[in-house]
Structure 1
Amino acid sequence: MKVVAIGGGTGLSTLLRSLKHFVPDYISDLSAIVTVSDNGGSTGILRKEMNIPAPGDVRNCITALAEDEDIFTKVMQYRFTEGEGLKGHSFGNLFLTVLTKITGNFLTAIEITSKILKIKGKIIPSTDSMVNLVAEFTDGKIIKGEVEITEYGRKLVAKIKRIWLEPQDVKAPPEAVEKIMEADMIILGPGSLFTSIIPNLLIDDIKEAVLNSQAYKVYICNVMTQFGETDNFTASDHVKALNKVITGNPDVNFLNAVILNTTIPPDEVLKRYLKEHSEPVVADAGNLSRMGLTVYAKDLLDEGNYARHSPEKLNNVILEIIQNLKIKNVH
């Protein structure tokens, strides 16, 4: 089975770290299409000063798919804590930047790094052009930049009304479109809806490929709402936001299935998130089912101090979907 995962941030790298264990027994071809609109931290500085697409999420996904968590994988994730110029930078970000400058091509830099780490799949940026994320809020404010959008949302004065990329006419690498069109399954999420997942889908080539692909399309809904982005969003609200981007109509589906967490975090964890205006996403499975979607609603919560998906539990439900699809295709 050929699988394509689309997203960014820690959500996508966590998912890939799980999915690589299905290669090659259940997944013959694994690809990740990664957003490059991040403008914060080390990746934002390098993006601005070196005029390259944001390398941070790409780096995280490459190391997530590394065959072994060996010393070089750790070196790629190393973050400098000292030095006036180096403090805050990840070695992997610097490595990708240097390779991009030497080869003159961001895609080539990713390819070389992927070979060095012997990754179990393919990492493709959603575009190799410089892009900025721009959002219009319900109070009429237009905010440019991923970090700035999140910060403005946290003021709780308005919600995101619409979001787009500048420039709007950037192209996706041809291989990204090919992988989507050839996929048997496309997985969106988990991750920040407006700043990790949707930015990929704002590129026309990606959007059209996702819409027209015959793949089985699955969305992994977040465990918690995100302060400043998805406040008060139910699971079906997340899906409607994705529908609006892909089909132009929140009530017209392009997805086939949604994976939902049904478990509330422990009280001490929940209270900490509530202080940050983040709440458990309401798993309104009935609404999703009425929308014609297959719902996989399960306990997916990881143990520990954070309200996030358990990689093992997520693996189990994805494997269940893969096996269901194989049975369906046989019949």
Structure 2
Amino acid sequence: MRFKVVAIGGGTGLSSLLRGLKEEVGKSIKELSAVVTVADSGGSTGRLRKIYNIPAPGDIRNCIVALSDAEELMQRLFQYRFKGDGLEGHAFGNLFLTALTELTGSFLEAVRMSSEILKTKGKIIPSTDESVNLVAEFENGEVIKGEEEITEYGKKGNRIKRIWLEPENPKAPEEALRKIKEADLIVIGPGSLFTSIIPNFLVPEIREAVRESEALKVFVVNAMTQPGETDHMTAWEHIKTFLEFSGLKRVDVAVVNTKMPPDRLLRKYLEENQEPVTPDVSRIAKEGIKVYAEDLIGNGGDYVRHCPHKLTNLLIKILENELSKV
């Protein structure tokens, strides 16, 4: 069988996942779509948003490159960052998306055209094409605006009580809703829980479309905790927090990493107040969620991240195991 897959998220987690999934397009995957957050407020993205009042292009750019089948030079060009005064820190792809949005009058059209130019093996769709900002109220009553600012404030030991988008109730692109409705598999995560994953579900139509979808819903738990967002959270606490803040009632399957990073990397992460997410598999199973727990992190490198190929292989196995029973 060949399946229709939708991945929802943002940041490095989503783009890494897409690098693996694109290798299955035309094989196990009939159609691949990514629904991407546009609430980023930092760096090049944040500066362009202030000037042009557009949705955040950064995560979109990374997903376009991740799914690209174009020559390596084109991919490197899209990720190139300028140096020197004026343009310093701006990614070429961000400027390109901004210019296309200005020329066409449509952020959705700019994303579509950029995807064509880079020959993506799947659809990239923002969760909304409106310019939105992420806002959080913390347990101490403080209200913080901006994705980057929320994470930094959380590092002071403050927990998020409530989170929303401004303006509230932004509209979702019809194509995103259609892809979610038609999906066989919806993959949520990995990625920053509060600033890359949950913002997509703060778009009411996205949340309702996922709720109503008959697709198998898989939540990929992060391998490491994130300072300011998921400090000391176990795998179950990641899922529980996601459900609470996203407004979803349940997920069908949880994917959990079981491998500890090598000592060299573990020490580095512990110094930065990050630790491996405890795989409390039995706790998740007690909630009626099917658990797939495996060694999913990559070997080598300076970061602990899911290996795109290991994760993709597991997701295909889940599809074949779970949907063949339906």
Give me the TM-score of the superposition, normalised by structure 1: 0.95
Q: Report what 1:37 is aligned to.
A: 39
Kindly indicate whether the alpha-carbon contact (under 8 Å) linking 1:246 and 1:254 is maintained by their aligned counterparts in 2: no
Counterpart code for 1:315 = T
Counterpart code for 2:33 = S
Kindly indicate whether the alpha-carbon contact (under 8 Å) linking 1:263 and 1:301 is maintained by their aligned counterparts in 2: yes
Q: Which string of whole-angstrom CA distances, capped at 9 and with x for unpartnered residues, describes residues 134-184 of structure 1?
A: 11111111111001101111122x111121111112111111111111111
Q: Which string of whole-angstrom CA distances, capped at 9 and with x for unpartnered residues, describes residues 43-77 of structure 1?
A: 11001111111000000001110114421111111
Q: Report what 2:203 is aligned to.
A: 203
Residues 1:110 and 2:76 aligned together: no
Aligned pairs for 1:48-67 (under 5 A) are 48-67=50-69
Counterpart code for 2:316 = L
Residues 1:301 and 2:301 aligned together: no
- How far does residue 246 in structure 1 lie from its aligned partner after superposition? 4.0
Q: Report what 1:89 is aligned to.
A: 90
Q: Is the partner of 2:325 in helix, strand or coil?
A: helix
Residues 1:28 and 2:12 aligned together: no
Identity %: 57
> How many angstroms apart in 2 are the aligned matches of 1:69 and 1:204?
38
> How many angstroms apart in 2 are the aligned matches of 1:246 and 1:271?
33
Q: Which string of whole-angstrom CA distances, capped at 9 and with x for unpartnered residues, describes residues 209-234 of structure 1?
A: 01110000001100001101111111
> How many angstroms apart in 2 are the aligned matches of 1:165 and 1:233?
24
Q: Report what 1:167 is aligned to.
A: 167
- How far does residue 327 in structure 1 lie from its aligned partner after superposition? 2.5
Residues 1:123 and 2:128 aligned together: no
Q: Which string of whole-angstrom CA distances, capped at 9 and with x for unpartnered residues, describes residues 7-52 of structure 1?
A: 0001000000100011011111100000000010001100111111
- How far does residue 247 in structure 1 lie from its aligned partner after superposition? 4.0
Q: Report what 1:232 is aligned to.
A: 232
Counterpart code for 1:109 = A
- How far does residue 275 in structure 1 lie from its aligned partner after superposition? 1.1
Give me the TM-score of the superposition, normalised by structure 2: 0.97
> How many angstroms apart in 2 are the aligned matches of 1:60 and 1:144?
24
Q: Is the partner of 1:328 in helix, strand or coil?
A: coil
Q: Report what 1:185 is aligned to.
A: 185
Q: Which moved more, 1:263-272 or 1:98-107?
A: 263-272
Q: Report what 2:219 is aligned to.
A: 219
> How many angstroms apart in 1 are the aligned matches of 2:21 and 2:309?
10
- How far does residue 243 in structure 1 lie from its aligned partner after superposition? 1.4
Counterpart code for 2:61 = R
Kindly indicate whether the alpha-carbon contact (under 8 Å) linking 1:247 and 1:254 is maintained by their aligned counterparts in 2: no
Q: Is the partner of 2:191 in helix, strand or coil?
A: coil
Q: Is the partner of 1:28 in helix, strand or coil?
A: strand
Counterpart code for 2:122 = G
Work out which of the residue numbers 317, 324, 328 in structure 1 matches 2:325: 328
> How many angstroms apart in 1 are the aligned matches of 2:125 and 2:142?
33
> How many angstroms apart in 1 are the aligned matches of 2:170 and 2:88?
32
Structure 1: unaligned runs, 5 residues or longer: none
Counterpart code for 2:132 = V
